[in-house]
Amino acid sequence: MSIRRILVISLGNPGQYENTFHSAGHNVLQAFQRLLQREQPSFSLEKWGKMQALASIGPKYSLLQSPAVMNVSGPWVAKAYKEELSTQALTPEQLGVVLVHDDLEEELGAIKVRAWKASHRGHNGIKSVNGSLQADPRGKWARVSVGIGRPDQRDKSAVSDFVLSKMPRHARSVVEEKGSSGLLSALMDLETKWGTEY
């Protein structure tokens, strides 16, 4: 069965950690919406998963930025998924789900499509989602990671300091420019693979 919509959810952190490397997924999703412009409405605050979240609901894509803290984002993602099925009157077979998140192992702005059940490689947001949302085998599922580079030091505290540091303007530009076009290309490939019926 062909899918009728794609739910794209970005992971990140709210508040003071909003524009950090760990929230690169949000930056990519915002830039992706701007890239589509006419076909995809601007983001606005809406109630999703019992929380206020930035959402852009277009004719084929539902773009949602998780408002939850990264490490406990799973319960919100699970609620948002169920809400999308209900709101759009879809069966699991008719909905594609794509999770957009940062990736320490890839160079800045690089986009990679990964299987939903691929290793989380220590990413606590993905761990939380996997623990809360059992991917319905009838649906289509994928992750899209955006590279944020990695600090020279590999110890846990150095990595934590890096991902929670503010993205400099240049890095943010690279992430948004490469990431948005990369996400568009990734979604087009997934739509071809999954089969779509818009």
Q: Give me the domains of the chain, ranges plus CATH numbers.
A: 12-154+166-194 (3.40.50.1470)
Active site residues: 22
**Which residues in the chain come in under a pLDDT of 70?**
1, 198
Q: How far apart are CA 190 and CA 198, in angstroms?
A: 14
Q: How many Cβ atoms are within 10 Å of 187's Cβ, its own excluded?
A: 20
Residue 118 is predicted with a pLDDT of: 85
Q: Tell me what percent of the residues of the chain surpass a pLDDT of 90.
A: 80
Model confidence, pTM: 0.95
Residue 123 is predicted with a pLDDT of: 86
DSSP per-residue codes, the chain: --B-EEEEEE----GGGTTBGGGHHHHHHHHHHHHHGGGSPPPEEEEETTEEEEEEE-SSEEEEE--S-GGG-HHHHHHHHHHHHHHTT--GGGEEEEEEEEETTS-TT-EEEEETTS--TT-HHHHHHHHH----TTSEEEEEEEE----S--SHHHHHHHHTSBPPHHHHHHHHHHHHHHHHHHHHHHHHHH-B--
Residue 198 is predicted with a pLDDT of: 67
Residue 80 is predicted with a pLDDT of: 97
